[in-house]
Chain A
Amino acid sequence: MNDQSDLFASRTSTNGNATVPSVERFQGAIVFSAIGDALGWPTEFLGRQPRRNPSFEYPVKSFVRWTKLVGGRWWGYRDEISPGQYSDDTQLAIAVVRSLSATGEFQPDRFAYLELPLWLQYERGGGKSIKTAARSLLRRQADWFSNFYKLGDLDYRNAGANGAAMRNLPIALSSYWDESRMVRDSFFNSIITHGHPRAILGSMLLGHAVRFALTEKDSAPDKFIDCLRNSIDAYYFNGTDDVRIKNWIRDWDKASNNGRTFASLFQETRQEAHKYLTAIPEYLSSPTEDYYDFVGATNPSTKGSGLSTVCAAIFQFAKRSEEPVECLLEAINLLGSDTDTIGAFLGGLLGARHGLDAIPDNLLEEIQDREYLLGLGRLIRRLSSKEVSDQVESDEPLQRDSALVSILAWEVGLHEMFWDAITVGGKVIHPTLGQGTITQKQVKDIAREGYVAKLINILFDCGQTCVFHSRVENETRVFGSFGKELVDALKDVPLTDKPNSK
């Protein structure tokens, strides 16, 4: 293993002396990723051979208005999705941006104990694994580096979907100059919700690809693929000094009921990644579907794999990165694949390569929360480049007890919103999104008697818009409330001795 290094050992680092890529490329990556997500979201549900015509024009060439069925037979309602609205991929990437430190390092505790659980209340299109992981983190005994959840068929150790990679773009951008930090932060980001190497390796691989797109002038496919292959060869977990990783691997192995170790499964997944990457040049002149089929990106049982979807985006980027719009439109119209997530990955790569110039005006103007996304691009560049600023976050660590208390405080406002004690125009203060104004309230009938679905649109002062949702029983019980978990988690939190405390 002479050619391998400790996961966190110092590797390529520019030490901040190299030319920093332009702010338009950071903004391009964030905004084009959101555009890819928003374009690909409606086509995700069509299936490879749609049984009926979609309600929007296909193939998709720009943002469309469409309707999504949320929930099953008894809980289901129709969510009207406006043109340009993005899904959970972008929501979670934004939450990761808010979890970067003053120096651009990922703060897993902030993401795991605040952003992720709170996201459940406004998520749009979130997958089962990630929602289970998010809920699990409200338990006091769950730590971000030990979130080994099991719920029915869902097992953390088997969670290999792209829910980790879909939120990794900000980490790749903020650590583009320090490969070692990028790998470490991608790993930490992944294991909060996903335990299978397909998710973890997919996330890291996307990080390397974004880094390449942002920094390398030569975009020749061979060089790109060689760079990625060399990068994943350098991972070596066994020698790491980080006690959190050691313990995480120990716990992973302990929970294994078939004798399989994380190291052996990771090695197998690495071989799988090599196979997928090595094959890219030979598929470049074939129809794109052929490569998707080869990596399992169109197979219903594997199409959500972190590794397969990242490789699909890497393939598209290698094939036609110099035609960014055509490239993205092909990806989001390739039915039967995970079009929104591949669209988000590919948009991030294309934006990092070409900057905002690659984005057609109509898409740039219509994407949800455009100004906020542009601001996040500026922020990430500022954090990663240590450019002159007029503010810096203090280095006080997040206190988990404080996070729980702030979520509890938010629960009060949340219930009042759903009980209609706060009406349209009313103000709320969210623990991570800040102050916001309610702009719309909708009540939707659902099949289950005595229940309705309530949707509340909020425009936050920061520029993000969210739709909070819940099923409400007879105008009283709000489903999805964190009350029970919070009471349990706060049981052992020290109290003040003030007699007049609220």
Chain B
Amino acid sequence: MRPVQAEVLVPDQLSLEYVENVFFVSEESRAEGERLWGNRDHPPFVVDPSIFADFSVYQAATYNFPFLVSVILTDEHVERGNVQTPRHHKSQFRRINTRTIHVLAQVHALTGTKGRIIWLPTHETSSTIFAKPSRYYHWSSISIDRLPDGQCALEYRLGEVRWRTLHFEVI
């Protein structure tokens, strides 16, 4: 497989009313699309991974590109043995009862895909390399002392592509 990008060239511009749907491979990708689009109206943003699968005539889906399936922030400790524990995403952390903020991502990776977590505004970064094509859990954490009060953010990148920005507040 080689990476290709489909393009439709039209003279001038195409009104958004002609766009029926915009498809995304995962909920996280859709959410990042929403964030980038802002408050303006847009066509329906739809999550449908099968659109992006190779030879999607087959029910057996394969994806020859890395993507972010999910990512959450939590104040619960994350480690190898509890990655599958159901958790809710938190967007506000109080210093009084939180020492560490944890991030847990689920990734579809290719061999050699680099996953990178960047905490903003401090730009502290942690990265990992995935050894084979598979689904992975990837986690990291930061001491709340290393973040300033107010609005902070986390970026999740695969290779050079930013897949998600999560804003959160430190109080």
Contact = CB atoms under 8 A, between A and B. Distances in A.
Interface of A: 97-99, 110, 375-376, 379, 386, 388-394, 396, 399, 401-402, 404-406, 408-410, 412-413, 416, 422, 426-435, 460-463, 490, 493-496, 498, 501-502
Contacts of A394: 106, 134-137
B80 interface: yes
A434 B133 contact: yes
Nearest to B110: A434
Interface in B116-155: 126, 128-140
B57 interface: yes
A393 B59 CA distance: 23
Identify the interface centre among B65, B112, B136: most chain A CB within 10 Å of its CB: B112
Given A388-B80, A393-B136, 4 more contacts: A396-B134, A409-B54, A434-B111, A496-B57
B2 A496 contact: no
B2 A391 contact: no
Contacts of A110: 132
A502 B57 contact: yes
B113 interface: yes
A213 to B, nearest CB: 24
A405 B112 contact: no
Interface residues of B, number: 38
Contacts of A386: 80
Given A394-B134, A498-B50, A405 B1 contact: no
B55 A408 contact: yes
Contacts of A388: 79-80
A493 B60 contact: yes
Contact of A390 (B50, B55, B112, B126): B126
Interface in B89-110: 106, 110
B61 interface: yes
B92 to A, nearest CB: 25
A392 B135 contact: no
Interface of B: 1-3, 50, 54-62, 64-65, 79-80, 83, 106, 110-113, 115, 126, 128-140
A434 B57 contact: no
Closest 5 CB pairs of A and B: A462-B112, A401-B60, A434-B111, A409-B54, A434-B110
A404 B61 CA distance: 10
A231 B67 CA distance: 45
Contacts of A405: 54-55, 58, 60-62
A429 B108 CA distance: 14
Contacts, number: 135
Nearest to B130: A391
A406 B128 contact: no
Contacts of B3: 427, 429, 435
Contacts of B2: 412-413, 416, 422, 426-429
A463 B79 CA distance: 28
Contact of B64 (A392, A396, A409, A501): A409
B50 A496 contact: yes
B112 A461 contact: yes
Contacts of B132: 98-99, 110, 393, 432
A392 B115 CA distance: 13
A435 B133 contact: no
30 contacts: A376-B131, A379-B131, A386-B80, A391-B128, A391-B136, A392-B136, A393-B132, A394-B106, A396-B134, A399-B60, A402-B62, A405-B58, A405-B60, A409-B54, A409-B64, A412-B2, A427-B3, A428-B1, A434-B113, A434-B133, A461-B113, A462-B112, A462-B129, A490-B58, A494-B60, A495-B57, A495-B58, A496-B50, A501-B50, A502-B56
B133 to A, nearest CB: 6
Identify the interface centre among B57, B130, B138: most chain A CB within 10 Å of its CB: B57
Identify the interface centre among B61, B129, B131: most chain A CB within 10 Å of its CB: B131
Contacts of A391: 115, 128, 130, 136-139
A490 B57 CA distance: 11
A392 B84 CA distance: 11
Contacts of B134: 393-394, 396
A462 B132 CA distance: 9
Contacts of A426: 2
Contact of B135 (A375, A396, A496): A396
Nearest to B113: A434
Contacts of A460: 111-112
A392 B104 CA distance: 11
Contacts of B110: 429, 434-435
A429 B65 CA distance: 8
Contacts of B137: 391-392, 394
B17 to A, nearest CB: 20
A291 B131 CA distance: 40
B67 to A, nearest CB: 13
